[in-house]
Amino acid sequence: MTSDSGAAEPGTIEPIPAAPAAPAEGPLDPAALDRLFRAARTHNAWQDRPVADRTLEALYDLVKWGPTSANASPARFLFVRTAEGKAKLKEALSAGNIEKTMTAPVTAIVATDMEFHERLPFLFPHADARSWFAGNAALAEETALRNATLQGAYLILAARALGLDAGPMSGFDKEKVDALFLAGTGWKSNFLVNLGYGDPAGLFPRSPRLSFDEACRLL
Amino acid sequence: MTSDSGAAEPGTIEPIPAAPAAPAEGPLDPAALDRLFRAARTHNAWQDRPVADRTLEALYDLVKWGPTSANASPARFLFVRTAEGKAKLKEALSAGNIEKTMTAPVTAIVATDMEFHERLPFLFPHADARSWFAGNAALAEETALRNATLQGAYLILAARALGLDAGPMSGFDKEKVDALFLAGTGWKSNFLVNLGYGDPAGLFPRSPRLSFDEACRLL
């Protein structure tokens, strides 16, 4: 991102400098844990409050650091925020996802570059990682999907870390999104994430979670 | 988690109460963004510093709140921390992943419950979500893998939020892990995450990332 001499676009989160010293030990403060996990919700209604393109750059500047296998970084993010883009996306949405997506300031299409290994000579320069995948389509596909999905989760949590709310969705016609947005790219849609500032009035009651004993084992 | 009257086990992160008020607006402080994303690294060597079982409970108490499709929560986490468990896991590891995994205080096997939809009457009580998946094996498998992978990413970032370091890996024999650890459960291994307190001396130089213009589109 470049620095601006003029006034910032509304909805801009400016670049955030690195902390002056190494992070302190121990957990983040309770408010940060609430923001990221415990009080965060999947939003269905949105405040009339913009999200600037520079904020999307700040968002990617967090997401990109999340770990992936061999640093393969296979996710691609299409940030749909114009009326034209939203109208195109609408054609592919499940009925229940239309209104919240049309009213969200931005909808991210989290996509997977199925040819991600072509970037490995740059991304993983200390070994011939490209060759691990170029001749093994099954491993390449599995690696692409797993790691692009991890990066989609990083997007959700990075949005929350910036003070945005996220609304992830998988109820859409993937083939249609691929045809409308990704033709000729070698990218495939994975899931969608609405981004903006949620309106708590649109929240459903929170659903229960599995207990530690139901979901975990100590071995 | 229950409260303890005695002294805490070494390596215990005690339960963290909710913040007294709603989280403030705007981004988390720079040190938190560094901790979660910008300064965080995939660790290969570990300090001789324990991770208590209660810390793993505190970890799951963050992870469980992350969003999944229809709140399906298909991930299962096996925390391997005994010598016996580690020795069993060793048989399934790629050569390059053995030493760091044997020396990590805990290795999480992130698994996927392929029968996750049997829990939907509890997890998503306001609709018959079980029926969406019970008769559609392809949708069930895709949903299980995508959402368990998202939850694996939540595990990585929740560990960092608690001040732990994470070392995710996919270099292992999944069939062997399934046979050794998951026989009879209906769960399948997805990836592994070493957990502990990293030793910076074991870090490799950081690899480059794709620029915004390479990985993103504004539409």
pLDDT tens digits, B180-190: 999 999 999 99
Q: What is the ipTM of this complex?
A: 0.94
Q: Cβ A37–B125 below 8 Å, yes or no?
A: no
pLDDT at A63: 98
Which residue among A30, A181, A208 sits closest to B16, beta carbon to beta carbon?
A: A30
pLDDT at A22: 58
Strand A216-218 versus strand B75-80 pairing type: parallel
Per the domain annotation, does B151 fall within a domain? yes
Per the domain annotation, does B22 fall within a domain? no
Q: What percentage of residues in chain B have a pLDDT greater than 90?
A: 87
pTM: 0.94
Is the pLDDT confidence value at B63 over 80?
yes
Cβ atoms of B146 and A149 within 8 Å: the answer is yes
Q: Which of A213, A217, A194 is nearest to A96 (CA)?
A: A194
Sheet holding B106-113, edge to edge: A216-218, B75-80, B106-113, B187-196, B165-169
Q: What is d(CA A185, CA A187) in angstroms, rounded to the nearest whole number?
A: 5
When pLDDT is averaged across residues B198-208 and rounded to a whole number, the result is: 93
Structural domain total, chain B? 1
| CA B43 vs CA B66, B93, B97, B150, B184: distances in Å | 24, 17, 11, 20, 32
CA closest to A32 among chain B residues? B28
Per the domain annotation, does A191 fall within a domain? yes
At position A217, the amino acid (one-letter code) is: R
Which residue among A39, A125, A209 sits closest to B64, beta carbon to beta carbon?
A: A209
Q: Which of B89, B59, B85, B32 is nearest to B151 (CA)?
A: B59
Is the pLDDT confidence value at A88 over 70?
yes
pLDDT in tens, B95-123: 999 999 999 999 999 999 999 999 999 99
Is the pLDDT confidence value at B14 over 90?
no
pLDDT in tens, A68-79: 999 999 999 999
Q: Cβ A215–B64 below 8 Å, yes or no?
A: yes
Q: Is B108 helix (H, G, I), strand (E, B) or coil?
A: strand
Per the domain annotation, does A32 fall within a domain? no
Q: How far apart are the first and last CA of chain A?
A: 46
Range of the structural domain that residue A138 is part of: 44-201
Q: Cβ B31–A23 below 8 Å, yes or no?
A: yes
Per the domain annotation, does B96 fall within a domain? yes
Q: Which residue has the tokens 């996919």?
A: B170
Confidence band for A6, pLDDT divided at 50, 70 and 90: low
Q: Cβ A170–B57 below 8 Å, yes or no?
A: no
Q: Which of B14, B29, B37, B61 to mutate to test the interface with A (most CBs of A within 10 A)?
A: B37
b or e along A20-50 (b: 16 or more beta carbons within 10 Å of the residue's beta carbon)?
Answer: eeebeeebbebbbbbbbbbbbbbbbbbbeeb
Q: What is d(CA A215, CA B25) in angstroms, rounded to the nearest whole number?
A: 33
Is the pLDDT confidence value at B24 over 80?
no
Q: Which of B69, B66, B87 is nearest to B155 (CA)?
A: B66
Confidence band for A2, pLDDT divided at 50, 70 and 90: very low
When pLDDT is averaged across residues A75-95 and rounded to a whole number, the result is: 98
Is the pLDDT confidence value at A48 over 80?
yes
Is the pLDDT confidence value at A28 over 60?
yes
Query: What is the DSSP code string of chain A?
Result: ----SSPPPTTPPPP-PPPSSPPPSSPPPHHHHIIIIIS----SSB-S----HHHHHHHHHHHTTS--GGG---EEEEEE-SHHHHHHHHTTB-HHHHHHHHHSSEEEEEEEETTGGGGHHHHSTTTTTHHHHHT-HHHHHHHHHHHHHHHHHHHHHHHHHTT-EEEEE--B-HHHHHHHH-TTTTEEEEEEEEEE-B-GGGPPPPPP---HHHHEEE-
pLDDT at B21: 65
Per the domain annotation, does B25 fall within a domain? no
Per the domain annotation, does A206 fall within a domain? no
Per the domain annotation, does A160 fall within a domain? yes
Nearest-neighbour CA in chain B from A198: distance (Å): 12
Q: What is d(CA A56, CA A215) in angstroms, rounded to the nearest whole number?
A: 34
B76 burial (CB, 10 Å; 0-12 / 13-18 / 19+) is buried
pLDDT at B3: 44
CATH assignment of the domain containing B115: 3.40.109.10
When pLDDT is averaged across residues B165-178 and rounded to a whole number, the result is: 97
Q: Cβ A77–B217 below 8 Å, yes or no?
A: yes
The three-state DSSP-derived secondary structure of B150-162 is HHHHHHHHHHHHC
Is the pLDDT confidence value at A188 over 50?
yes
Q: Cβ A32–B28 below 8 Å, yes or no?
A: yes
Phi, psi of B216 (to 5 degrees): -130, 155
